[in-house]
Amino acid sequence: MDQIIFTIRLLCLLSISYTALALPSLFCPMAWAEYPLLKKAIIDRNLKDLQKSLSDGSYHGEEGILRIRPDVAAKRLGIKVFIDQDYRDAQALFERAEKSLEKANAAMVSVADETFPGEHAASIIEHFLHYKDRLASAKENLMTSRSRVNPANDDRLNEAAANHLMDRLLVLCLKKTDKRLRDALGLFYNVCQGINPNESSLTPDNIAFVNEVFLVFTSGSMEETLNAFDLDSDGDYKDRHGNSDWKRAVGREESRYVHIMEAVLEKYGDKGYKIDPLLFFALMRRESNFDPLAVSSVGAAGLTQIMPRTAIDMGMKNIFVPKYLSEAGAYLDRERRSKAKAFAALNQIDEKNGLHHAKRARELMQQSLAYGEKRELLYAQYRKDLLKNRTDERLDPSLALEYGFKYFSALMKEQKGDISLALSSYNAGPHRVRQYKGIPPFEETVRFRNRVLEFYRDYLKKGGVARGK
């Protein structure tokens, strides 16, 4: 009975149709004892994150091999947990602390006139000190509550119960994501952390967890084991480089560029890394929505949104690079640096030296905002001049598609056919993928990857194409 109740709750939580998912299939077809490395990777990462949260002060009540907060476990997963008044008081204090921090941040960015000299600095001090006091009290209450948690009163620390819960969650998350391993791991993390499972599975918050678990499991497993999963590999799909069945999946907007795509495929043949044309159409759809005159807020242009420096490095000619473009980039860098310094100054505020650091934090934040305004003006000027002249080769649909295809082909080769890593490289740069050993934790990059793959799956569905494995 408990198992049935749990299943119904999880099906509702993950928005899976109960009638479409037979109960017996949930617990027998995928024996997780066959994948001990996946479970070990998840447990190791969770325990490492738990220890880190305890040492850096970010602990909010998560416990066990699943690192679940008690309120999430009780309300969403229906398992036995220990929750006392100290824990409830801690959560209320965390909420109040967060609101105080938001007010301190608002005072840093405010451009409203002061009713008295130093009003904004005074507001920063007041709200940040409230934030620190409430945060300290919350942590104290939380640790008092934690001292009372044990395997007898909390299933999160019960090895058998926690392992059983992990098995069921993994099965459900893989079912929900059609065995796409990265997305399943992201969904698994979100469910355990109480994040809305209807949001995109991969987020900047869970990407470090996903990257590590994915890498440990895929690098340590046999090919026959990995064949049970969709690993975002181009090898998982039929090769459409040499035939024309992909054309039936494209829509009206895309059809304008089919002849260019055909010419590119014919020109390069076996010279470069073969790419599914539908995947590249999905990339263009996300980048420009097939507008050949699209220009981004940082100077990327054309159907495939190639940056000026990348275009030049690939050998494109007549790329519009006015002197003020490098100035815009410098303002962007200064904007980010000043913002980081502002928060560093904010965190130094205490009872003794609050005024000095509050003034410094506000000054740096206002400086960052000013740099941002100058950056926006220069990039807006760049877009205006670029579209006025229209001599930049990136605005030529044929050249944009050809060079974008060549660049993405090189990235696919570098990432050994891993679509997610190639897309991340296209958006954030290959150096960032190497730096983070996977998808970089940037909101823009994670969203880009998610959206392109969503469009790609849509094309595959329209074309009636299934996974090749």
Q: What is the pLDDT of residues 154-167, one digit of tens each?
A: 999 999 999 999 99
Region 61-88: mean pLDDT is: 93
Assigned domain for 376 exists: yes
pLDDT of 451 > 50? The answer is yes
Residue where a domain terminates, one of 362, 390, 418: 390
Selection from 150, 147, 136 nearest residue 90 by Cα: 136
399 and 386 within one domain: no
Give the pLDDT of residue 463.
78
Using DSSP's 3-state secondary structure scheme, residue 63 falls into strand
Selection from 456, 465, 374, 427 nearest residue 183 by Cα: 456
Give the pLDDT of residue 35.
83
413 and 299 within one domain: yes
Give the pLDDT of residue 125.
98
pLDDT of 442 > 50? The answer is yes
Which DSSP letter does residue 246 get?
G
Assigned domain for 357 exists: yes
pLDDT of 46 > 90? The answer is yes
248 and 312 within one domain: yes
Region 82-96: mean pLDDT is: 97
State how far the Cα of 197 lies from the Cα of 10, in Å rounded to an integer.
10
Percent of the chain with pLDDT over 70: 89
Region 52-74: mean pLDDT is: 94
Region 244-268: mean pLDDT is: 90
Assigned domain for 70 exists: no
Which DSSP letter does residue 61 get?
S
Q: How confident is the model at residue 56 (pLDDT cuts 50, 70, 90)?
A: very high
Give the pLDDT of residue 195.
84
pLDDT tens figures, 270-295: 777 888 999 999 999 999 999 999 99
Which DSSP letter does residue 249 get?
G
Q: Is the pTM of this model over 0.85?
A: yes
pLDDT of 140 > 50? The answer is yes
- Mean of the per-residue pLDDT values of the chain: 90
398 and 386 within one domain: no
Q: In Å, how far are 186, 300, 322 from 61, measured between CA atoms?
A: 20, 44, 53
pLDDT of 24 > 50? The answer is no
Residue where a domain terminates, one of 364, 390, 416: 390
Assigned domain for 378 exists: yes
Using DSSP's 3-state secondary structure scheme, residue 346 falls into helix
383 and 245 within one domain: no
399 and 285 within one domain: yes
* Angle, helix 159-176 to helix 181-193, in steps of 10 degrees: 130
Give the pLDDT of residue 26.
39
402 and 265 within one domain: yes
Percent of the chain with pLDDT over 90: 79
| φ, ψ (nearest 5 deg) of residue 238 | -60, 145
309 and 431 within one domain: yes
pLDDT of 259 > 50? The answer is yes
Give yes or no for a contact between 301 and 292, defined as CB atoms under 8 angstroms apart.
Answer: no
Give the pLDDT of residue 325.
97
Residue where a domain terminates, one of 390, 406, 424: 390
302 and 401 within one domain: yes
pLDDT tens figures, 335-374: 999 999 999 999 999 998 899 999 999 999 999 999 999 9
Q: For the domain that residue 287 is a member of, what is the CATH number?
A: 1.10.530.10
Selection from 372, 400, 198, 168 nearest residue 305 by Cα: 400
User: Left (φ > 0), alpha (ψ -120 to 50) or beta: where does 429 sit?
Assistant: left
Assigned domain for 87 exists: no
- Tell which wins on pLDDT, 3 or 308: 308
Assigned domain for 311 exists: yes
Residue 251's domain spans which residues?
A: 238-317+394-462
Assigned domain for 363 exists: yes
End-to-end alpha-carbon separation of the chain, Å? 37
Assigned domain for 189 exists: no
State how far the Cα of 38 lies from the Cα of 443, in Å rounded to an integer.
26
Number of domains in the chain: 2
330 and 313 within one domain: no
| φ, ψ (nearest 5 deg) of residue 167 | -55, -50
How is 70-108 classified by DSSP, letter by letter?
Answer: HHHIIIII-------HHHHHHHHHHHHHHHHHHHHHHHH
Give the pLDDT of residue 44.
97
Give the pLDDT of residue 465.
64
Q: Which residues are CB-contacts of 62 (< 8 A; sequence separation ≥ 6)?
A: 50, 53, 68, 69, 193
409 and 299 within one domain: yes
- Tell which wins on pLDDT, 465 or 110: 110
pLDDT tens figures, 302-321: 999 999 999 999 999 999 99
404 and 288 within one domain: yes
